[in-house]
Amino acid sequence: MNTKKINILNYKHDYSHYFEEYNKEWIEKDFSLEPKDKYVLENPEEAIIMSGGKILFAELDGSIIGTVALMKISDEIVELTKMAVGRKWQGLGAGRLLCSSAISEAKKMNFKKIILYSNTRLERALELYRKLGFIELPSEDGMYQRANIKMGISLI
């Protein structure tokens, strides 16, 4: 894993198509795109940025290779969502760097907790979340049809 060359960048409108493309790639591979996904992916500024969240991108040698978002749920809680690395760049450590950078950003933004929703079929992602300190939480129905696990990490 060589993350030394990978840079984490803040959202720019010019990068929004990567946010949509990389997330559609993984969602449509194993699941189906839900109306909430479609809205967030097609309207990232409105759905995330203007609502008090943040979108980060991983860049390697001038190419955007991955992305992650922090979606504000309340003044204390943010959801880690839409984390994706382009297929041809998987295995380089970009996902870990994006996730750890998102945790740092959430702390800087004074959130007290990060939650995320995932699926137990996404074993590599769940392993990463656990390594970074996320623990399984009781899940509520209705967030995403594909979600069958909820995780969280305290930032305080």
Question: Domains of the chain (ranges plus CATH)?
Answer: 6-154 (3.40.630.30)
pLDDT value at position 30? Answer: 87
pLDDT tens figures, 92-139: 999 999 999 999 999 999 999 999 999 999 999 999 999 999 999 998
User: SS3 of 30, please?
Assistant: helix
In this structure, the number of other CB atoms found within 10 A of the CB of residue 10 comes to: 11
Would you state the pLDDT for residue 146? Answer: 87
CA distance 66 to 18: 8
DSSP three-state, residue 113: strand
Global pTM value: 0.93
Which residues contact residue 114 at a Cβ distance below 8 angstroms, ignoring those fewer than 6 apart? 70, 77, 78, 79, 80, 102, 103, 106, 134, 152, 153, 155
Q: What is the pLDDT of residues 8-46, one digit of tens each?
A: 999 999 999 999 999 999 999 989 999 999 999 999 999
* Sheet architecture: strand order including 77-85: 6-10, 54-60, 63-72, 77-85, 113-118, 149-154, 135-137
Q: What pLDDT sits at residue 2?
A: 52
